[in-house]
């Protein structure tokens, strides 16, 4: 028998801890990614056991929707609800002010809509996602409508960014988002003002949304592997 991968177990523990924060009779934003997938699984298990009742989920991606259905979580849309009580979502970088870079799974546009609407937004990460400054290790994902790709790339270069079109598995073609758009990953030497950069990027015509999330995370649950053992 092979030992369980401690990183995987740690992600599972973080997802489980976030799922435990969901209360009965609530509307839950369901994030995207490998860590949130565990939260979705455990919300489903709590529902199945009867410990949790009358919740409804708002998925942030096709991936989240498929998982929620698999684990028996009833779903709704933003047209049918007045608010979201709690959202659980992953991140690619988190700074000391709880600002985030998201979009490693190309889902940041819907994630931003759902996560910002939530009364409480729980971020689930492993300790490797913590950075002193956003952009230290991860590029900023920018969703762009396909016909605007060239002018958007040029505008980003003028801002000092190094844009790269995100390619899919085996580089067979570009990654296509749930909205039918493409993603540019933009490296910046320095992001001194994430609040401003978020607005500036979104002001470029043809940009739908970028992966900088500021002033929205309430709680960050951090998983670590200490002495080979996962902990939250």
In the complex, which residues of this chain contact ligand 5RP (CB under 6 A)? 31-36, 89-92, 102-108, 111
Nearer to ligand 5RP, 73 or 122 (CB): 122
Task: With beta carbons less than 8 A apart as the criterion, state whether 90 and 126 touch.
Answer: no
Nearer to ligand 5RP, 89 or 185 (CB): 89
Q: Where are the beta strands (DSSP E) in 50-153?
A: 56-59, 84-89, 93-94, 100-101, 118-126, 140-144
The least CB distance from residue 50 to ligand 5RP, in Å, is 28
35 is in an annotated binding site: yes
Nearer to ligand 5RP, 11 or 46 (CB): 11
The least CB distance from residue 157 to ligand 5RP, in Å, is 24
The least CB distance from residue 26 to ligand 5RP, in Å, is 21
93 is catalytic: no
Which of 12, 65, 111, 143 is flagged as catalytic?
111
Task: With beta carbons less than 8 A apart as the criterion, state whether 81 and 55 touch.
Answer: no
Nearer to ligand 5RP, 51 or 218 (CB): 218
89 is in an annotated binding site: yes
128 is in an annotated binding site: no
Q: What is the DSSP letter of 104?
A: T
The least CB distance from residue 154 to ligand 5RP, in Å, is 25
Task: With beta carbons less than 8 A apart as the criterion, state whether 28 and 85 touch.
Answer: yes
Adjacent-strand bridge partners of 125: 222
Helix or strand run (H / E) with residue 223? strand 219-226
211 is in an annotated binding site: no
Strand-pair category, 93-94 with 100-101: antiparallel
Rounded CA separation 15/30 (Å): 11
What residues are labeled active site?
111
Residue positions forming the annotated binding site for substrate:
32-35, 89-92, 102-105, 129
């Amino acid at each position: 028998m092979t030992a369980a991968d401690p990183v995987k177990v740690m992600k599972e523990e973080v997802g489980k801890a976030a799922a435990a924060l969901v209360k009965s009779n609530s509307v839950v934003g369901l994030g995207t990614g490998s860590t949130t997938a565990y939260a979705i699984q455990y919300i489903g298990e709590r529902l199945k056991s009867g410990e949790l009742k009358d919740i409804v989920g708002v998925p942030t991606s096709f991936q989240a929707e498929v998982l929620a259905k698999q684990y028996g979580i009833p779903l709704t849309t933003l047209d049918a609800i007045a608010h979201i009580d709690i959202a659980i979502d992953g991140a690619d970088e988190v700074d000391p002010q709880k600002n985030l870079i998201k979009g490693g799974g190309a889902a940041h546009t819907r994630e931003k809509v759902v996560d910002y609407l939530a009364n409480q937004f729980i971020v689930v990460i492993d300790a490797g996602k913590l950075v002193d400054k956003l952009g230290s290790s991860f590029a900023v994902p920018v969703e762009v409508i396909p016909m605007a790709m060239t002018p958007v790339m040029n505008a980003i270069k003028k801002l000092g960014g190094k844009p790269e079109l995100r390619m899919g598995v085996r580089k067979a073609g570009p990654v296509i988002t749930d909205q039918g758009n493409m993603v540019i990953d933009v490296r910046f030497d320095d992001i001194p003002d994430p609040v401003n950069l978020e607005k500036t990027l979104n002001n470029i015509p043809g940009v739908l949304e970028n992966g900088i999330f500021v002033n929205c995370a309430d709680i960050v649950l951090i998983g670590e592997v200490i002495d080979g053992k996962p902990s939250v």
